[in-house]
Amino acid sequence: MSGTFGFPSDLILPIVALLLSIDAVAIVTLIFFERRDPESVLAWLFAILTLPVVGFVLYLIFGFKYFKTRAFGLKSTGDQAILTRVRSGLEPGIGAGTPHDLEQEAVVPELARLLIADSAAFLTAGNEVSVFTNGNDKFAALFEAIDGAKSHIHLEYYLLRDDALGNRLLRALEAKAREGVQVRLLYDDLGNQISRLKYRTLEGLGGKVSGFYRALVPSFGFRINYRNHRKIAVIDGTIGFIGGFNVGDEYLGLGPLGAWRDTAVRVRGAAVRALQLRFVLDWNFATHEGLPLGGAYFCPAPESAGSALIQVVSGGPDTTWNPPREQYVKMVGSATRTCYLQTPYFVPDVSVMTALRIAALSGVDVRIMIPSHADQPFVHWASLSNAGELLDAGVRVFGYDDGFLHAKTITIDDRVTSVGSANWDLRSFKWNFETNAVIYDRAFGREYRRIFEEDMRRSTEITSASYAARSRSTRVKESVCRLFSGAL
């Protein structure tokens, strides 16, 4: 006799028992064996209980930490041993010229002190910083630097598209490899869309290419978390790039989202050593090549090129704490006049929301800019919900209208500015490998505030009145997406 959904009636109870057992295993693992924030636990419990089996499978793909413990335990131990030596000035060629007394020269010394203690982000002086807010300018500068390379080219990107820009980069790297320049390209194994076959020419010329944390199945699998979201380039140890731009035509404004608004910086000076260190640590983890931390990659010390102090802050599943999140919280808490931030995804945890609310209630001019047009609707609705919650505290929120906003920045009081890869969301705080450049320079701070204010002219402000007038369907979408945002 057939029962529910066509199953024999005598099998229904065993199937239900199996489903409940699967859910029970997931719940016990989640609560007793993994250390999570309460909001994340509640979101996953809700998903597992309301969607038996489906919720469990989603948990295995997006939430299970078993692979993190296995994959990054040794990386964390090794990296921390090296960073401890760097922080103590014991690693030849890296810590030299970066004494701790530079903390007192930083315009927010307590922030500098936190980042040194939290992530061994040593403070560097004498840096020149140039900012890029559109892809054409950024990639023109990058290709110019690559064309002028004499010793080595180190690139680390989350996303590499198999399109005109991606193939142009590949041809440029091949040309330098023919000249005898050492070329290393590190990509995220899920983000990369260029076929391994296309890298063979570069490798045949002596270039080296590697994926970071290989996926079990291309573009899918239990390793969908723990992605290398960093965007770093180091040329000859003297020029560095960091920011939000990946490599693809859409970053030139040629994709389905149209115009693309992002932020990256080019750095000359001692901070390039910090970017080089980040690349070497990640490359050695991915390839086991054992690149040295001294020698040609770090010596001689870069010449003083400007007046900016910079710390390179990195975080990820291999760190005990969450340095990018703590950097953001500390910057918001250090603001006394202005706090302007941009992010494509605004899904922070309670600590960040509280810091922003307290800053606004204390009289700080807090402004948040997010895209008006979504590339990920689920995250977009959660972002709107979170931003809307801050309006009553006096936070001003803007939706950027002139294309897609992908910048990950914060500038406070014209004193300190952060540009990097870390979004203001739980994925960047918990799951991804991220890197930001924290720039202590008043001239750069004033310049970035001007850029933000120019972006405001291309934005629509979301006021308390306009937010209250949103449609019922919008409210429902926000509520549902907000409910599950802790599991993102």
Q: In the structure, what pLDDT confidence band is assigned to residue 320 with cuts at 50, 70 and 90? A: confident
Q: In the structure, what pLDDT confidence band is assigned to residue 114 with cuts at 50, 70 and 90? A: very high
Q: How do strand 124-132 and strand 308-315 relate by DSSP bridges?
A: antiparallel
Q: In the structure, what pLDDT confidence band is assigned to residue 213 with cuts at 50, 70 and 90? A: confident
482 and 380 together in one domain = yes
Given a cut of 90, is residue 155 above it in pLDDT? yes
pTM: 0.85
Q: What is the pLDDT of residue 298?
A: 86
Q: Is 261 exposed, middle or buried (0-12, 13-18, 19+ CB in 10 A)?
A: buried
Question: Within a domain: residue 352?
Answer: yes
Beta strands in 45-196 (DSSP E): 124-132, 152-157, 182-188
Q: Coil, strand or helix: which one is 155?
A: strand
252 and 346 together in one domain = no
Q: What is the pLDDT of residue 19?
A: 59
294 and 330 together in one domain = no
Enumerate the β-bridge partners of residue 129: 267
Residues designated catalytic:
229, 231, 236, 406, 408, 413
Q: What is the pLDDT of residue 11?
A: 56
Given a cut of 70, is residue 284 above it in pLDDT? yes
Number of domain units in the chain? 3
Domain boundary among 64, 89, 105: 64
* Average pLDDT across the chain, whole number: 85
Question: Within a domain: residue 2?
Answer: no
Q: Coil, strand or helix: which one is 358?
A: helix
Using H for helix, E for strand and C for coil, what is the string for 406-460?
CCCEEEECCCEEEEECCCEEHHHHHHCEEEEEEEECHHHHHHHHHHHHHHHCCEE
| Mean of pLDDT values over 266-280 | 95
127 and 176 together in one domain = yes
Given a cut of 70, is residue 3 above it in pLDDT? no
270 and 172 together in one domain = yes
Whether the CB-CB separation of 177 and 183 falls below 8 Å is answered with yes
| Mean of pLDDT values over 337-360 | 97
Domain boundary among 18, 37, 64: 64
Least confident of 94-98, 144-148, 169-173, 302-306: 94-98
Q: Which residue has the higher pLDDT, 229 or 215?
A: 229
Given a cut of 90, is residue 71 above it in pLDDT? no
Q: In the structure, what pLDDT confidence band is assigned to residue 221 with cuts at 50, 70 and 90? A: very low
Domain boundary among 290, 313, 336: 313
136 and 88 together in one domain = yes
**Whole-number percent of the chain with pLDDT over 90:** 63
Q: What is the pLDDT of residue 97?
A: 47
Q: Give pLDDT tens digits for 175-197.
A: 999 999 999 999 999 899 999 99
Given a cut of 80, is residue 339 above it in pLDDT? yes
Least confident of 90-99, 123-132, 234-243: 90-99
Measure CA of the first residue to CA of the last residue in the chain; give whole Å.
43
CA 444 to chain centre: 21
Q: What is the pLDDT of residue 219?
A: 46
- What gap in Å lies between CA 84 and CA 175, rounded to an integer? 38
Question: Within a domain: residue 377?
Answer: yes
| Mean of pLDDT values over 284-291 | 92
Question: Within a domain: residue 1?
Answer: no
DSSP state of 27: H
| Mean of pLDDT values over 113-137 | 93
- What gap in Å lies between CA 114 and CA 116, rounded to an integer? 6
Enumerate the β-bridge partners of residue 425: 347
Question: Within a domain: residue 3?
Answer: no
Entry field: residues in the chain: 488
43 and 98 together in one domain = no
Least confident of 77-91, 327-341, 391-405: 77-91
Rg of the Cα atoms in the chain: 23
Given a cut of 50, is residue 99 above it in pLDDT? no
27 and 95 together in one domain = no
Boundaries of domain holding 375: 323-487
Enumerate the β-bridge partners of residue 153: 183, 235
Question: Within a domain: residue 166?
Answer: yes
Find the CATH number of the domain harbouring 108: 3.30.870.10
Question: Within a domain: residue 237?
Answer: yes
Q: How do strand 365-371 and strand 239-243 relate by DSSP bridges?
A: unpaired
Q: What is the pLDDT of residue 118?
A: 86
| Mean of pLDDT values over 21-37 | 57
98 and 37 together in one domain = no
Given a cut of 70, is residue 26 above it in pLDDT? no
* Residue 420 backbone dihedrals phi, psi, to 5 degrees: -175, -150
344 and 451 together in one domain = yes
Given a cut of 70, is residue 132 above it in pLDDT? yes
96 and 228 together in one domain = yes
* Residue 44 backbone dihedrals phi, psi, to 5 degrees: -70, -40
Whether the CB-CB separation of 364 and 248 falls below 8 Å is answered with no
Enumerate the β-bridge partners of residue 235: 153, 239
411 and 437 together in one domain = yes
